Structure 1
Amino acid sequence: MDRLHRRYEKPNMWEGKVTLRVIVKLNKVQQEARHCRCQPAGEGQFEVLDKFENRFVVNLNHYGCDCRVWENTGISCLHAAASISYIRGESVNYCDPFFSIRKYLDTYKEMIHPLPDLAVLKDDAPNEKVLPPNLKRLPSRPHKIRKREA
Structure 2
Amino acid sequence: MEFPTTQLSIYAEDMIRESLAQSRSMNIDSVDQHEFEVHHRKEQFVVNILNRTCSCRQWDLDLISCSHTCIALSTRNLNLHLYTDKFYYVSNLINLYKKGTRPIGTVNQIRNIHQGGNDGILPP
Normalised to the residue count of structure 1, the TM-score between the two structures is: 0.63
What is the count of residue pairs matched by the alignment?
Answer: 103
Distance 1:21 1:112, change over 3 A: closer
Q: State which of 67, 87, 92 in structure 2 corresponds to 1:78.
A: 67
Q: State which of 53, 60, 83 in structure 2 corresponds to 1:94.
A: 83
Matched, 1:22 2:12: yes
Distance 1:41 1:104, change over 3 A: same
Distance 1:112 1:55, change over 3 A: closer
Q: State which of 36, 50, 54 in structure 2 corresponds to 1:61.
A: 50
Distance 1:34 1:110, change over 3 A: same
Amino acid at match of 2:14: V
Q: Whole-Å Cα distance in 1 between the matches of residues 101 and 81 of structure 2?
A: 32
Distance 1:109 1:55, change over 3 A: same
**Which residue of 2 is the match for residue 145 of structure 1?**
none
**Which residue of 2 is the match for residue 140 of structure 1?**
none
Match of 1:92, SS? helix
Gaps of 5+ in 2: 103-117, 119-124
Q: Whole-Å Cα distance in 2 between the matches of residues 10 and 96 of structure 1?
A: 23
Higher gyration radius (CA)? 1
Match of 2:7, SS? coil
Q: Whole-Å Cα distance in 2 between the matches of residues 97 and 112 of structure 1?
A: 21
Gaps of 5+ in 1: 1-8, 114-134, 136-150
Match of 2:24, SS? helix
Identity of aligned residues (%): 21
Match of 1:42, SS? coil
Normalised to the residue count of structure 2, the TM-score between the two structures is: 0.75
**Which residue of 1 is the match for residue 114 of structure 2?**
none
Q: Which runs of 4+ in 1 moved over 4 A?
A: none
Q: CA deviation at 1:19?
A: 1.3
